[in-house]
Amino acid sequence: MKNKLRIIGGEWRSRQVSFVDLPGLRPTPARVRETLFNWLQGEIIGKRCLDLYAGSGALGFEAASRGAASVIQVESNPQACRSLKENSAALAANQIRIVQMDVLRYLAGDAEAFDVVFMDPPFARNLAVQTCQWLEEKGWLANHAKIYVETECKLDLSGMPANWQCLKSKTAGEVGYHLFERLS
């Protein structure tokens, strides 16, 4: 079964992308995406973005629509990746690259510095803090990179990299969402 979500702003505003119905796949709600991209105003155009645990691709497609120079979407589920590729082709999104791989395996590879990272790991798997530590320790972040972390609202985020500052933090229902900045 295919579900749909609408891109909120930018070049593809109001266009729909479809995603597969998979256990644990929950696209970032429209009002959360709107808040996030308001927070990131001026931080997306021309930037290199990394969308980890991409799922539906909502955050990566939104960033590309709003002028990101490049977006790499990393997702391990083959059906979700097929959907990401179909949506990318339908939008003629040449700035998007899809990588089918486990996120931690991807982060163990050759690092390149990104300006903005979106991270929405599966709930109840306790992946957020470890993923953030790897982003920092393995050299995936540019100076002053912005890192968006979406988790279940009750998740303890202690243990985040010491040189990250939380700029914004909100909850919506069961979801906690946070914007960090990497201080050099």
Tokens of 107: 């982060």
Q: What is the dihedral of CA 134, 142, 165, 45, to 10 degrees?
A: -120
Given pLDDT bands bounded at 50, 70 and 90, which one contains residue 9?
Answer: very high
Burial class of residue 91 (count of CB atoms within 10 Å of its CB; 0-12, 13-18, 19+): middle
Q: Write down all domains in the chain, each with its CATH number in brackets.
A: 2-182 (3.40.50.150)
The model's pTM is: 0.95
Helices (H), 22-146: 30-39, 58-65, 78-90, 103-107, 128-137
DSSP 3-state of 129: helix
pLDDT digits (tens, 9 = 90+) for 128-160: 999 999 999 999 999 999 999 999 998 899 999
Q: What mean pLDDT is predicted for residues 92-116?
A: 97
At 26 the pLDDT is 83
For the chain, report the end-to-end CA distance as a whole number of angstroms. 45
What whole-number distance in Å separates Cα of residue 171 and Cα of residue 168? 11
Q: Which amino acid is at 84?
A: L
Q: What mean pLDDT is predicted for residues 108-118?
A: 97
